[in-house]
Structure 1
Amino acid sequence: MKNSATTYIKIYQETTDEKLKNKTAKELTTLYYNVNDFENANLWKEKISVSEEKIYLAALIYEKQGKMDLAIVEYKKLIDDKEYKSKANFNLATNYYKEKNYNEAKVYYENILNIENGPYKDIATYRIGQIYLNTKDYSKALRNFMRIELLYENSNLREASKLKIATIYEIQKEDDKAKKTYEEFYKSYVKSQYRNLVLEKLLVINLNENRKEEAKKYYDELIIVNEKVGEGYTSYFTEQK
Structure 2
Amino acid sequence: MTEPRKSMSLTWRVVAAATVAGVAAGALAVYVTGAPSGNGVEAPATSQQLGSGEADTAACIAKTDKAKRVGAAAIGDVAAMLAADPPQSLKGLAFNSPEGTPMTLADHSGKTLLINLWATWCAPCRAEMPELDALQKEMGSDTFEVIAVNVDTGGDEKPKKFFEDVGIGSLAFYRESSLALFNDLKKRGLALGLPVTLLVDDDGCLLAHMNGPANWASDDAKRLIESVR
Query: TM-score higher than 0.5 here?
Result: no
Structure with the greater relative contact order (CA < 8 A, sep ≥ 6): 1 or 2?
2
Higher strand share: 2
Q: TM-score range by the shorter chain?
A: under 0.3
For normalisation by structure 1, the TM-score amounts to 0.23
- The structure whose Rg is larger is 1
Higher helix share: 1
